[in-house]
Structure formats: C-alpha cells, structure tokens
Structure 1
Amino acid sequence: MYAILDIETTGGKYNEEGITEIAIYRFNGHEVIDQFISLVNPERPIQQFVVGLTGINNDMLRNAPKFYEVAKRIVEITQDCVIVAHNAKFDYRILSTEFNRLGYPFERKTLCTVELSKKLIPDMPSYSLGKLVRSLGIPISDRHRANGDALATVKLFKLLLSKDTDKEIIKATVRTTPKNNMDAKLIRIIEELPSITGVYYMHDEHGDIFYIGKSKNIKKRITQHFTNDNHKSKEMQKLVHAVTFEATGNELIALLKENEEIKRNKPQFNRALKKTIFSHSLHHSFTDDGYLKFNIAKANGRDNAITTFSSYLSGKSFLERITEEYNLCQKYTSLDKSTGSCFNHSIKECEGACMGEESAEEYNKRAQQVIERYSYHNKNMLLIDRGREVDEKSALLIEEGTFKGIGYFNLNYQVNNPQIMKTLITPMEENRDAKHIIQGYLRRNNRIKIIEF
C-alpha cells in the first residue's frame, strides 16, 4: 500500500517551515482507495516568493485547521503505507518535523519518484515534476498546489510501476511488510496473549526477564516483536521462552508500571528507559512590567517545573497550543522574539499585552490558569481513569504534589473518602520520570477525571 502525497510550505530555513497545504492519496498499486486534501494554518507568515509560486496567502489560511487538528487523519491514511512523493526526502522531512513538534514519532518507509524516474526513464531533459509529466504526456493542473501535484504524482507512479519490469518497487515494498514465517514457539506465545492494555515481560528459558514493554494491545505488539527483522528483534526472538503480562486498563498506569519495572529489574534489552526520559521543562517568571511569562528550558531535575517534555520541539508545540487555547501573547510564551508587537497582534488574535494595551492583572488571570491546570505542585488529588474490567475504575493518588501509587475500585464504590481510598492504593516510587509521565498524560487526555481533596 502506498500514500502518495504532496506538501506546500511557508518556505523558510530548514526546520522552520510550516505546512500550508497537504494532499494524500492512498493507493493500492491499482487505484486510489482513499484521499485527504486540506489547507493547513502554519501559525507563521508565508514568505512572499512562496505566495507568488502557489497563490496561497496568509488570509486564506487564517481559518484553516492547524497541523495538530489534521495529524490524526494523516496518521490514519498513511498507516501501513510506503510514502511516495516527488523529492520524497523533502516532504517526509517536513512531515516528521511537524510530528516531532507534537512529540509524536512519525516513521514511514519512503519512495522518491525523482530517483525512480531517473532509473526507469533515463535521459529525460528534466526531472522536475511539471516538466517530467508534460514530457510523458501526463496531464497536470493546479501546478504548485498540493492536490494538483499529488494527482500528477499518482499518474507518474502508475507509469513507473508499469515500466518496472524487474518488479524492484514491489519487492522493496514487500520487504517492508511484516513477515509471517514465525516458528511454532513464537506462534504459541502469541496465541496465548490477549488484545488488552498492559505491561508485558519477556522471559528467557531460566525465567529471567530480559525485556519489559507496554502496549494498548499486547497481542499486536508482541506480534510486531516476533515479525520484525532488525537485529534487536531477532535476538529477542531467539531468547524468548515465555511472555507474561499484567493488565492495567489504561495507558497511564501501563506507562508508570513500565517505568518502575524497568528501573527495578534493569532488563538487558531496555537500555533506553534506564535513563531519564525527558529533557526539557516549562517554567514561568514575571517581567519587569509584571506580566507572567512562560519559557522552555533544559530540565535539571532541581527546578520546580510546571511540566516536562521529551524534547524541545514537543515543549514548543505545547506553548503554541496554550497560546491559542488561553489567548496568550506570543511575546510572553517565548514564541515571538522580535521587537515590537507579536505576530498574533498584527492579525488581531492577541489582546495587546505586548503593547501594553492589556493590563498585567487581566492577562495574568488567563496565564495563571495554565499553571493551575498543568502543575500538581502541593496538590492532593485522585486521577480516575478506565479500569481493567467494565465495572472497574483505576485511581492514581497524588499527595502534597507527590505521586504515591495506583489502585482499582468497583464502580459501585463511591470515591468520597480519601482515607479509605488510600487503603486501595499500591505504593509506587516517586521519581522524575514518573512525574513526567503523569504530566504528559494529563496534557494529552482531557477525559481523565480529577478529584481534588
């Protein structure tokens, strides 16, 4: 399966571009079976030469969805696909950069129609998309717009498939598909596993744990381990004698248990999580004029950060989100470092704190809501989420800003007495990574119920 796409951007330097338009066609090698086309608000101005090239301007994008609003659809339509694009390296880099800003690891195999064309149709006068397709008699409309260029790439790729008599494109695609030639031992292990959320443990023939992981679907994740052909997966396939698991009911508890179990057991193949899993944190200060200002800095473990992030880009993406959600000024969320007013003020999306048009008192009321929502410093609360069964809920206890542990209770049980609830909690260790996991989960999941006491 292929995801044939084209992306238009704001221009700019490497790692600073924003997507202005995207078109994706899901193609099964014979016909298009799904498509997604959308303008995208890049949350930054478009360079003038790009406006002249594409015809897309800032006014056209003001009400367009932002990237995080279309990200899920992009993941879905490219799932289990090889990404195909004309100059695929550029388009894939842009997509990966946008997903990195959201803290999401977007990974897909790619095929470049420029490289394929040079190999299968040599000696063409030009391999730019417009000139190449015209030379081949392929119609193209809306040049330098995502939909027009993506449709032309679909037609070009069909031609390349027909010219690929050695079937090298198909063979390469098949090599990226999970293989099913597992031995009987691995098949037996998979058959005995459930499709539930939880933590799983891989044991060698002596019963020792050599790998710990978590997944929303344990059976599916273990199948991936047993069908991958990278060096680490092959070594694990040789060693594994049994896989045990513990249901958690939701991803938050799975993440916390995985973190604690890896630090306690130090399994051979879990090198990554033996180290701290976040690098940056969100802090606040006050300007000389009394405005509350947010910034992302490298985490040192000593500062009392509001929340933490696995990368600077995910922290910056969070600043962009709270700027919009709480109508904050880009100057005071460290997103606009220019002199004078912020960019949002120029398009009438800032109340004017950067120009002294909004008082610090009024502005800080909204900014303070960010701290209240995303920091649990000195708070006493229970976080209620799904349980392991339909008639059960999970509870995570935080006392005076410290994570104490997790537990489960039946839906018939009324959570109105924290002291009684504490008896159901299984103690867990408070550490920097556990705090990072909880804070990150709270940012991503609005449906979790919070009971303060």
Structure 2
Amino acid sequence: MFLPDAPLPDGLFRFIALDVETANRDAASISQIGLACVRRDGGIETFSTYINPDQDFASFNTELTGIDARTVREAPSFAQAWRRMLPLLSRHLMVQHSNFDLTAITAACRAAGLNGPKMEWADSVKIARKAWPEFRGNGGHGLGHLKKALGLEFHHHDAGEDARAAAEVVLLAEERLKCPIEDITGKIKHLQLAFEF
C-alpha cells in the first residue's frame, strides 16, 4: 500500500544505501525505491515508496516482488519521487548492491527527461568481496547468499528491505576490516554534489 505522507529521513548520515525494484526488463521501469540511511551511531532509518512506472508489469517481476499495476496505481511517478528524495541523497555517499540500481536510476532519469544523478556511489558487492573473499566460488556475494552467511534478516526483493540489508553488509564489513567505508572504497565522506534538472 502506498503511503504518500511517509516522511523521508532527515539529517546528515554516514551513508545511504539505495535499492530499486522494476516492473519489467526495462531498467527505467522502477516500481519501488528503498533507502537505508545509516546514522553516525550505526542505527539505520529506512524509507520506501512505490513508483508508478507507467509501464506494463512482467509476470516474472511481479512474482519476484509482489508489485503489480494495482499496487502502484496511486504512487508518484519516478520524477515526482526523485525530486523529493534528491536533496537528501545528493549530499551523501550512496551505496548500491551491484551496479543495477545506478543503471536503473540513470535510465529512469533519462526516460523522465532529467539529467543523470551526480552522486558518489559505492558498491556493497565489492565491499563484501574485500571483507569475505572466502565466499567467492562458495555462494558468492549476492544478497541471497549473504543473508544466510551473515545471518541477516530481511525480505529479499523488497526495495526497503534490500537497501537495509546492503547497509548492514557495509556495517559488518567495516567491523570485519576494522576501517570505515571511505577507507574501504576510497570514496570521500559526505560529498556535496549537485543534481541538475
């Protein structure tokens, strides 16, 4: 169910993990965006919104996510949701679990006539590979395997839940490697990068 008045997290966070779900094979067909905002104390504030992609839903995607045209009927368009989230996202280091999320956001921006996101991104798959090299060839570094291997509890293929899981992977990797995400990835902390419409 879409909750139009759900507040976005507010403030300055260490980093924000983002995950998307799509309606079909078109990367621009985003049907849900989830955020997990990591506070300085390690706490996580989450936000999730359905998106009306104005596209048909493939049965495979609906079976995977549980999202269909009825779910998103009253949800905002990508452009509406992205403009709302951008002031928060643009001032933080962003985390995605693989490159799919940035690819989808870029495609959705292009389809909506918006310039692509000018933000700094880190990949929690690459972070997990550094922290747990023993998983290579032994289950891998996808969220499905990490859920079992690291004892994470989340509902896979829900954007909000997957974003939180990606954030937890980073926090566990920081603990294991004994250094912050910025040292693991070489990214600059809290970049103030603009987004151009």
Matched, 1:156 2:169: yes
* TM-aligned CA distance change 1:39 to 1:176, over 3 Å: closer
Q: 2:56 is paired with a residue of what secondary structure?
A: coil
Q: Contact 1:29 / 1:158 at 8 angstroms: preserved in 2?
A: no
Deviations 1:154-195 (Å, cap 9, x if unpaired)?
221110111223x363232337747xxxxxxxxxxxxxxxxx
Match of 2:72 among 42, 58, 61: 61
The size of the alignment, in residue pairs, is: 175
Deviations 1:49-104 (Å, cap 9, x if unpaired)?
111111111111111111122112220221221111211x1101111222233323
Matched, 1:135 2:145: no
Percent identical residues = 22
Identify, as 1 or 2, the structure richer in strand.
1
Match of 2:57 among 46, 52, 59: 46
Q: Contact 1:5 / 1:84 at 8 angstroms: preserved in 2?
A: yes
Q: Contact 1:86 / 1:153 at 8 angstroms: preserved in 2?
A: yes
The aligned amino acid for 1:77 is L
Q: 2-side partners of 1:177 and 1:22: how far apart?
A: 22
Match of 1:99 among 105, 109, 132: 109
Deviations 1:356-382 (Å, cap 9, x if unpaired)?
xxxxxxxxxxxxxxxxxxxxxxxxxxx
Q: 2-side partners of 1:117 and 1:25: how far apart?
A: 17
Q: 1-side partners of 2:191 and 2:29: how far apart?
A: 31
Question: Which residue in 2 is equivalent to 1:264?
Answer: none
Deviations 1:408-438 (Å, cap 9, x if unpaired)?
xxxxxxxxxxxxxxxxxxxxxxxxxxxxxxx
* TM-aligned CA distance change 1:78 to 1:177, over 3 Å: closer
- Give matches, 1:4-153, under 5 Å: 4-13=17-26, 15=27, 17-32=28-43, 34-87=45-98, 89-100=99-110, 101-124=112-135, 125-126=138-139, 127-140=141-154, 142-153=155-166
The aligned amino acid for 2:49 is S
Q: 2-side partners of 1:22 and 1:154: how far apart?
A: 15
Q: CA deviation at 1:11?
A: 2.5
* TM-aligned CA distance change 1:95 to 1:29, over 3 Å: farther
5+ long unaligned stretches in structure 1: 179-220, 222-443, 445-453
Question: Which residue in 1 is equivalent to 2:8?
Answer: none
The aligned amino acid for 2:48 is I
Q: 1:152 is paired with a residue of what secondary structure?
A: helix
- Give matches, 1:431-446, under 5 Å: none
Structure with greater Cα Rg: 1
Question: Which residue in 1 is equivalent to 2:6?
Answer: none
Task: Indicate the structure whose relative CO is greater, using CA pairs within 8 Å and at least 6 residues apart.
Answer: 2
Q: TM-score under structure 2 normalisation?
A: 0.79
Q: TM-score under structure 1 normalisation?
A: 0.36
5+ long unaligned stretches in structure 2: 1-13
Question: Which residue in 2 is equivalent to 1:306?
Answer: none
Q: 1:58 is paired with a residue of what secondary structure?
A: coil
